[in-house]
């Protein structure tokens, strides 16, 4: 079981309480994880990654296991603690006022 935590505004948009639980087959990467999130909650398409290029939106960050993975390759394997659900994958709205 993989755990994903979204920022509050995206939880509201997708009508989610708490964490998202995902089952993934195969390699656990940012891309496969986010593909699964968007498949389960289609209204989130375009809100975390650009609709066309699938790149991370500029003011979104990805944190896991106390590390900022935002600039890692989307196809790099995520830490084992994310893959086995020991730690959540955090989608964060960057601190930028507002």
Partner 1 sequence: MNNVRVLVGTRKGAFILTSDGARKRWKVSGPHFAGWEIYHMKGSPVDPDRIYASQTSGWFGQIIQRSDDGGKTWNTPGSNPEELQSADGTPQAESNKFVYDSSPETGKPITTHQWYDGTQHPWEFKRVWHLEPSLNDPDHVYAGVEDAAIFESKDGGKSWHELAGLRGSDTGPKWQPGAGGMCLHTILLDPQNPQRMFIAISAAGAFRTDDGGKNWKPINHGLHSQYIPDTGAEVGHCVHRIAMHPSRPDTLFMQKHWDVMRSDDAGGSWQEVSGDLPSDFGFPIDVHAHEPETIYVVPIKSDSEHYPPSGRLRVYRSRTGGNDWEALTKGLPQRNCYVNVLRDAMSVDSLEPCGVYFGTTGGQVYASADAGDTWKPIVRDLPAVLSVEVQSLP
Q: List the end-to-end C-alpha distance of the chain, in Å, as a whole number.
A: 34
Residue 62 burial class via C-beta count within 10 angstroms: exposed 0-12, middle 13-18, buried 19 and up: buried
Query: By C-beta, is 14 or 65 nearer to partner 1?
Result: 14
Closest distance to partner 1 from the beta carbon of 93 (Å): 4
31-70 residues near partner 1, rule: CB under 8 A: 38-39, 42-43, 45-48, 51-52, 57, 59-60
Count the residues of the shown chain that bind partner 1, applying the rule CB under 8 A: 23
- Give the footprint of partner 1 on this chain (CB under 8 A): 7-10, 12-13, 38-39, 42-43, 45-48, 51-52, 57, 59-60, 93-94, 96, 98
């Amino acid at each position: 079981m993989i755990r994903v935590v979204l920022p509050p505004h995206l939880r509201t948009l997708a009508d989610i309480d708490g964490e998202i639980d995902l089952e993934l087959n195969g390699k656990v990467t940012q891309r496969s994880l986010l593909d699964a999130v968007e498949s389960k909650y289609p209204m989130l398409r375009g809100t975390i990654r650009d609709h066309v290029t699938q790149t991370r939106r500029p003011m979104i960050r990805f944190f896991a296991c106390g590390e900022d993975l935002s600039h890692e390759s989307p196809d790099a394997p995520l830490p084992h603690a994310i893959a086995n659900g020991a730690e959540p994958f955090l989608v964060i709205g960057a601190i930028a006022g507002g």
